[in-house]
């Protein structure tokens, strides 16, 4: 893939969308991970070419965010944002968690969702009062695995949404090896830090990072291959079955089933929400 073209397209299309909808700001929650950092690099370039725009970045940690993640988020904000700050949401999270637990006990997953939705509230308030939009950072891998929170870390506009996770890594590497090549440049340091850090959800849902949840012992390239191969045959049941058998031989049946189960079980998340009853079912 031509990552120079990929980056240029992301910048151009984001600039066009902002202009077409008369938006003034881009608002982004920065986790310190590779997805939000690459998105920040896109927003930074958009502002360079459109100086009247503003790019606001906020790091919103809770105690489940590691020191490394918080440091990486700080580097990205300082390198790419017009305006930025840290807003620790641990107190707000504990209050909301206690409120939710008055009737039902929470789980690790539901607690992670509370954090994601609190961040959503905070970012959308900024976008509302500054005439802007909230930037989305999910990639195709996360999309097809349901690795995101409904009404949480899903936002308005997503520059990297057409890339698989391993392609996000490749784009990041292109940026710090071909574009921001000075190792003393804050932009190089932010991208390199995000590239090197272990990817996690930042919400403490599972120890060991994202791959511990998805496919332990495997890589994003392998997970992406399983997903792409399976999805490409979705309209051909017999071919899809044959493809699964091939993948089982390559990656092991347990790994393939683990990835595909996550994909199948999150199908409801990929439908247009809210899911409405079709009018034709009750119209004469």
CATH number for the domain including 22? 3.40.50.620
In the chain, pLDDT over 70 holds for what percent of residues?
98
- The DSSP line for 231-252 is HTTTT-HHHHHHHHHHHHHHH-
Q: Is residue 284 part of a domain?
A: no
Which residue reads 């965010």 in tokens? 65
Contact 151, 272 (CB under 8 A): no
| Same-domain status, 69 and 159 | yes
The residue to which tokens 């906020």 are assigned: 58
Mean pLDDT, rounded, for 155-174? 96
Say whether both 223 and 182 belong to one domain.
Answer: no
pLDDT digits (tens, 9 = 90+) for 102-154: 999 999 999 999 999 999 999 999 999 999 999 999 999 999 999 999 999 89
Question: Which residue, 116, 112, 5, 4, is CA-closest to 60?
Answer: 116
Please provide the average confidence, as pLDDT, over all residues in the chain: 94
233 shares a domain with 151: no
- 226 shares a domain with 161: no
Mean pLDDT throughout 25-37?
96
pLDDT digits (tens, 9 = 90+) for 12-22: 999 999 999 99
- Indicate whether 172 and 250 sit together in one domain: no
- Look up residue 261 and give its two tokens: 């189960």
The yes-or-no verdict on residue 284 having pLDDT over 70 is no
pLDDT value at residue 240 = 94
Question: Are residues 242 and 148 located together in one domain of the fold?
Answer: no
Is the confidence at residue 176, as pLDDT, over 90? yes
Are residues 139 and 261 located together in one domain of the fold? Answer: no
Q: Within the chain, how many helices (H) and strands (E) appear?
A: 12, 4
Least confident span in 112-121, 166-175, 271-280: 271-280
Is 119 in the same domain as 170?
yes
Please give the biggest Cα pair distance in the chain: 69
Tally of structural domains, the chain: 2
In angstroms, rounded to a whole number, what is the distance separating the alpha carbons of residues 138 and 37?
12
pLDDT band at 272 (very low <50, low <70, confident <90, very high): confident
260 vs 171: CA distance, rounded Å: 26
- Prior bond of 274 cis (ω within 30°): yes
Q: What residue numbers bound the domain in which 227 lies?
A: 215-270
Residue 281 falls within a domain, yes or no? no
Which whole-number Å values give the CA distances from 121 to 4, 17, 89, 134, 152, in the listed order? 34, 23, 11, 11, 8
- The predicted model gives 169-186 an average pLDDT of 97
72/147 same-domain check = yes
Contact 11, 160 (CB under 8 A): no
How many angstroms separate the CA atoms of 88 and 132, rounded? Answer: 22
| Side-by-side strand order, sheet with 54-59 | 83-86, 54-59, 25-29, 132-134
Q: To 5 degrees, how large is the angle CA 134–CA 139–CA 145?
A: 115
Q: How far apart are the first and last CA of the chain?
A: 52
Claim to verify: residue 57 and residue 143 sit in the same structural domain: yes
The vertex-179 CA angle with 173 and 184, nearest 5°, equals 90
**Sign of the Cα pseudo-torsion (70, 76, 77, 79, in order):** positive
Which of the pair, 154 or 175, is modelled with greater confidence?
A: 175
């Amino acid at each position: 893939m031509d990552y120079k073209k990929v980056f240029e397209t992301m910048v151009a299309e984001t600039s066009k969308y902002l202009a077409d909808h008369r938006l003034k700001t881009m608002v982004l929650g920065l986790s310190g991970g590779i997805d939000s950092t690459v998105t920040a690099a896109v927003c930074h370039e958009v502002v360079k070419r459109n100086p009247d725009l503003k790019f606001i970045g906020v790091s919103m940690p809770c105690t489940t965010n590691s020191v490394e993640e918080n440091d990486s988020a700080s580097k990205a904000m300082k390198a790419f944002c017009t305006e930025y700050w840290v807003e620790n949401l641990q107190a707000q999270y504990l209050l909301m968690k206690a409120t939710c637990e008055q009737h039902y006990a929470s789980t690790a997953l539901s607690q992670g969702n509370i954090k994601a939705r609190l961040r959503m509230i905070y970012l959308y308030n900024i976008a509302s009062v500054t005439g802007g939009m909230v930037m989305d950072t999910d990639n195709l891998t996360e999309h097809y695995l349901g690795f995101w929170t409904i009404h949480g870390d899903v936002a308005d506009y997503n520059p990297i949404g057409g890339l698989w996770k391993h392609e996000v890594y490749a784009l990041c590497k292109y940026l710090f090896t071909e574009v921001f090549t000075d190792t003393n440049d804050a932009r190089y340091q932010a991208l390199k830090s995000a590239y090197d850090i272990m990817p996690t959800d930042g919400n403490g849902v599972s120890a060991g990072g994202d791959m511990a949840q998805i496919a332990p012992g495997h890589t994003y390239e392998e997970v992406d291959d399983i997903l792409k191969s399976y999805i490409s045959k979705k309209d051909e049941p017999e071919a899809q079955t044959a493809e699964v058998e091939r993948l089982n031989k390559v990656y092991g049946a347990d790994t393939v089933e683990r990835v595909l189960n996550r994909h199948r079980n999150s199908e409801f998340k990929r439908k247009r929400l809210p899911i409405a009853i079709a009018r034709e079912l009750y119209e004469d």
